[in-house]
């Protein structure tokens, strides 16, 4: 694993979409998962959300009606993240 904990997050982050995608079963990105990815990923990564058809932004729990998708520039980073992160 690469120790990239001090690397600048150029190109990483919210609404950054890359080729290799992990469609999760959760509606939010835990900070612990982001910290792990910052440490182990050698290339850029990002995350975005796909709203469900029944999403209602006027509801207090609107965020629960979306799916988190984490994407990676590198297939190796995708695999390493899936093996090291529990969602």
pLDDT at 69: 98
pLDDT, the chain, mean: 91
Higher confidence at residue 31 or residue 1? Answer: 31
CA dist 78 and 66 (Å) reads 21
Domain range list for the chain = 16-84
pLDDT at 80 over 60: yes
pTM: 0.85
**What are the strands, taking DSSP E only, across 6-86?**
13-14, 20-23, 45-51, 66-72
Write out the two tokens for 4: 């990239």
């Amino acid at each position: 694993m690469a120790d990239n904990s001090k690397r600048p997050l150029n190109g990483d982050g919210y609404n950054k979409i890359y080729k290799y995608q992990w469609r999760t079963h959760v509606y939010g990105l835990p900070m612990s998962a982001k910290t792990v990815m910052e440490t182990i990923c050698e290339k850029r990564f990002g995350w975005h959300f796909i709203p469900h058809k029944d999403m209602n932004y006027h509801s207090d729990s609107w965020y629960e009606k979306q799916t988190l998708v984490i994407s990676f520039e590198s297939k190796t980073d995708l695999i390493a993240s899936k093996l090291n992160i529990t969602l």
